[in-house]
Each structure stands twice: as structure tokens, then as C-alpha cells.
Structure 1
Amino acid sequence: MTKTIETIKRELARVTHPDELTVFFSDSRKGVQKLVEQTDKRLKKEALLLEKYELMCRYERTAYQNGAQYIAGIDEVGRGPLAGPVVAAAVILPPDAQLIGVNDSKQLSEAKRDQLFDEITEAAIGVGIGIISHDIIDQVNIYEATKLAMKDAIENLAVEPDHLLIDAMPLGYMDNETSLIKGDSLSISIAAASIIAKVTRDRMMKQYATEYPGYDFEHNMGYGTQKHLQGLEKLGITPIHRKSFSPVKEAMLRFE
């Protein structure tokens, strides 16, 4: 008895290796061959994601080989915006974590970031978050504020790390540190931290959007987009704007 296309669709959904497709090649129905083609594309995509994941684990593997037990990836988000805090995250993943699809948060959709945020939080040995307000940014400058956020994130971990993998910025927090340019695309731990930091800050800015409408914070997250600049020109600054940043300074002068 010939299987229905719906039955074959369910079977193909369970296929995990290209060799398993061979049995379906003899079915000449166009609907079946289309499903086989779709499954082949899915398997190739999954293989690329797994290859990318393995590549992004190489710095962690090196640190483990050198005796590390708790490796924290650290990243930040929010250095460039005109409003809101800078947020950093520190994430310690278990050696056997299988978070396929984790990548630089900027390369992911909002829905994918939200999904991975939950997966990372559930899988991680420790997640620490550091939040430095606009006021402190104005006092110490954004570079120093970013370092403060990173240090707070590390100190808010439930487990003390013995090796740090940091995106771009040398921190000087401990002897065992590795600073990686574009680390959020090179290290799985840093990429995980970038997702935690990004989702945390985005949710904060969406809340601020309800408190301070007219700046499009829910979409620009405080960055200086056209709608944000128009809001500054029309409404002036809010309590969360960074007064040391040029467009905000200019808006303050216009409203004095």
C-alpha cells in the first residue's frame, strides 16, 4: 500500500541524516520529491549550524585544556545610544551545552533572541547582568561605564569564574582573560552573553517607551535614529537621556 504524502511528511520530519533520504528517492510523486528537497535543505542548514557551533567552542576548549573549570563569556550592549543604560552580561555555560544557533545577537531576529535567551538562562551554570545608568555614563564616560557594567555582571554570577572571554575590551579583572575582537561571533560564551545583554536592554527600552512616548524607543532602543532626533527636537530630553552625548547637549541648549 502506497503511503500518503502526509504520512511521508511526518516521516521526513524525523529524518536526521541525509542517508535516510535514500528510501524516498524511488517515489516519483512531485509532492514527495518536493518534501525530500525541503528536508535536504533543512539537514544542510542544521549541519552548517552545528559546524558553526563547534567552531565557536574552540576558545572554551582551549581554556578547559589549560585547566579552567568555569569560563565566563562577557559582552555588552548600549554603548552608542543617546538614552538609557549600558548593559553587560556574563554567562558561564556547561562544557556539554548544545545551544545550536547561538550567535552574535545582532545577527539574530528578535524572536530568535527571545527564544535563545530562555534556552541560555535554563542551560547556563551562571548568568550575571550589570546595568550602568545614563547618570553614571555622563559622570565617567561611556568606555569606563562599559567596564563597570562588565565587572558588575561578573560579580553578579552565582559561580566565580576562573577564566574570562571578553568581547573586544581588555578588562583587567583577573589574570586569566582572553579579549577577542568580534568575540560575539567567535566564542559561544560571548555570543550567549551578547544575547542576554541585548534582550535585557531591549526590554528595558520598551518599558521606557511607555514612560516617555514620542522618541520611538520601542524600535530604536535609544539609538539616534531620525524619529528619535525628531523627538528630541520637538519634546526635548527625558530623564534617561545621556547629557554628555552631542545630540542631547544640542537639544538641551534649544530648550533652555
Structure 2
Amino acid sequence: MFDLKYFNLKAEAYPSGFFIAGCDEVGRGPLAGPVVAACASIEIKIFDIKEIRSLLRKWSKLGITDSKLLTAEARAEILKKISVDAIGVDQILSLSHSENIQIKILIKEIHAPKIDEINILQASLEAMKLAMVESCPVHLPGMILIDGNKKLKYSHELHEQEAVVKGDSKSLLIGLASIAAKVYRDQLMKDLSEKYPGYGWEQNAGYPTKKHIEAIGLLGVTELHRLTFSGVKEVYAERGYSRIESI
């Protein structure tokens, strides 16, 4: 199990407890909607490598991996099996695996105006940072795994970071973060599609499909569109915000 390589297997290394977290984001490519990040972490009060192995082995059997490799049904089923019935934004979801181990998941999002201001890469990193900072314990030593090749702009004397290329398919914690973020964002875009019909967000989640691009040309640009993205900026430069009323 990949995540175990980041543990010092000597129990005395963590006399006051320890945490390990995985961060990932979804929604870098869409033309509309926020970029969404999640941090999934486990906090261990008393170090017990057997109990940690047992939890990770259980997760491994669930098929946790890169959310893009799973169907919507599979993603929902994985969350259900770890007792996640619903997931929202800006609220830490806490699950007790045992008296000794607690699981936390936090979703954060950064919306189109900020994406346009700082660019999508920086927005993705910032969303992951927010999720990590708000959910990881400041009083415990820990390891933070970030999907991709860049670390977060964050420093803490007790916390280490590791950037993991293709981490969502290697690390169970990053994979779980990926799944949580994907489930939340897909549902969000379905909900938004009712307010902004015609763009097909209930199916394309804001990504640049043929239908979505054609709809932008027909209906115009909404305040949820990313104005610096190709396919949006051209229409916005010509018309600004505009929508055909009768759709």
C-alpha cells in the first residue's frame, strides 16, 4: 500500500499522535463552474501499524483510485461504503473508524472570477491548500500528499509535504479526495444546470463539449463561465454577459 511508505514504522516516532492527508482537485478543464478540491486525512491518536494497515487494506478493496477511472455509480458506492451519505462544501466531514483513528474529508471550491484573476493552476493549488489547512490538525506531526508535481505554498514545522505525480491512482488518500471532490462537483453542476438550462451542465459538468460550446455561442456567457478560457473569452469580448430569454 503506497501510503504506508510515508509512515515511520517505529511507534515511538509519534508519541502524541500523527496524521496523513491526501489532497486533490477536479474541474481544471471546464469552461464554467468552480475548481473543487478535497483533503482526505486520517488522524491516529496512538500509533498502531496493524490498525492502520487494516484500514488501508479495507479501502483498497473498495477500489479507491483516480475518480476519472470510475463511473458515477462506483464513486457514489465507495463513499456510501465508508459511511458518507452526503457531502457538502466548507464543512469538515468526520468519521470515526475506531477510538484511535478518525477520518476527515473537507471540500473547498474557488469560483470563476478568482480563477480568471490568478489562473487555473494557482486556483487549484489554493483550493487544495484551503482544504488542507482547515482540516488538518496543527498540533500533530503529519504528512500531506498532493496530487501532481507541485507542493502547496504552506509551511509548518510539524508538517511535511510530498507532491505525487498521478497520486490519485497511487495513494488511497489522494484517490479518496479525488472521488469526494468529483462527486460534489458533478452534483453541483447538475444543480446549476436547472438555473442555467441549455448548456448541458447536467451531462458535461461544464467541460468544453460540442454542445456546451455551441450553447455559449447561442445563449451567451454566464457569470459562472471562466472568461479567460478559450471558447468563452471570444464570446464575452464580443457580447459581454448575455442570454436568450426564451430557451
Verify same fold: TM over 0.5.
Answer: yes
Deviates more, 1:138-147 or 1:113-122: 113-122
Cross-structure match for 2:48? none
Task: Tell me, yes or no, if the aligned pair for 1:215 and 1:228 is still in contact at 8 Å.
Answer: yes
Amino acid at match of 1:223: Y
Letter in 1 for 2:227: K
Q: 1:75 to 1:234 in 2, by over 3 A?
A: same
Aligned CA distance change for structure 1 residues 93 and 119 (closer, same or farther; 3 Å): farther
Counterpart code for 1:176: E
1:64 & 1:201 partners in 2: Cα distance? 35
Would you tell me which structure has more strand in proportion to its own residues? 2
> Could you say if the C-alpha distance between residues 77 and 138 of structure 1 is closer, same or farther in structure 2, counting changes exceeding 3 Å?
same
C-alpha distance in 2, partners of 1:158/1:212?
36
Match of 2:30 in 1: 81
Q: Does 1:197 align with 2:181?
A: yes
Per-residue deviation at 1:171?
1.3
2:55 is the counterpart of 1:92: no
Q: Which residue of 2 aligns with 1:154?
A: 132
Q: Alignment partner of 1:65: what SS?
A: coil
Q: Which amino acid aligns with 1:73?
A: G
Q: Match of 2:143? A: 163
With over 3 angstroms needed to count, the CA separation of the structure-2 counterparts of 1:133 and 1:64, relative to structure 1, is farther
Q: Which runs of 5+ in 2 are unaligned?
A: 44-51, 85-94, 241-247
Alignment partners' CA distance in 2, 1:64 and 1:229: 50
Greater RCO (CA < 8 Å, at least 6 residues apart): 2
1:52 aligns to what? none
Q: How does 1:18-167 map to 2 (within 5 A)?
A: 57-65=1-9, 67=13, 69-93=18-42, 95=52, 96-97=54-55, 98-99=58-59, 100=61, 101-120=63-82, 121=84, 122=95, 125-157=103-135, 159-160=137-138, 162-167=142-147
Tell me the amino acid that sits aligned with residue 166 of structure 1.
I
Alpha-carbon distance, 1:170 to partner: 1.7
Instruction: Quickly say closer, same or farther: Cα 1:172–1:158, change in 2 above 3 A.
Output: closer
State TM-score, norm by structure 2: 0.75
Going from structure 1 to structure 2, the CA distance change for 1:130 and 1:64 (only over 3 Å counts) comes to farther
Conserved in 2, the CA contact under 8 Å of 1:130 and 1:150?
Answer: yes
Distance 2:215 2:126 in 1: 30
Does residue 212 (structure 1) correspond to residue 196 (structure 2)? The answer is yes
Higher helix share: 1
One-letter amino acid matched to 1:242: R
Contact 2:186/2:205 (CA < 8 Å) preserved in 1? yes
Q: Which entry has the higher C-alpha Rg, 1 or 2?
A: 1
User: Any idea what SS the aligned residue of 2:225 has?
Assistant: coil
Question: What amino acid maps onto 1:103 in structure 2?
Answer: T
| Other-structure match for 1:249 | 233
**Displacement of 1:64 after TM fit?**
4.3
Judge conservation of contact 2:129–2:153 (CA < 8 Å) in 1: no
Cα distance change of structure 1 residues 225 and 231 upon mapping to structure 2, 3 Å threshold: same
Tell whether the 8 Å contact from 1:81 to 1:224 is kept in structure 2 after alignment.
yes
State the secondary structure of the residue aligned to 1:112: helix
Find the residue that maps to 1:89 and give its secondary structure. Answer: strand
> Cα distance, 1:60 vs. partner?
3.0
What letter is aligned with 1:104? D
Structure 1 residue aligned with 2:166: 182
CA distance in 2, matches of 1:62, 1:152: 22
Q: Distance in 1 between matches of 2:120 and 2:128?
A: 12
SS of the residue corresponding to residue 156 of structure 1 reads helix
2: CA distance between counterparts of 1:254 and 1:114? 41
Specify the SS of the correspondent of 1:70: strand
Aligned pair count reads: 200
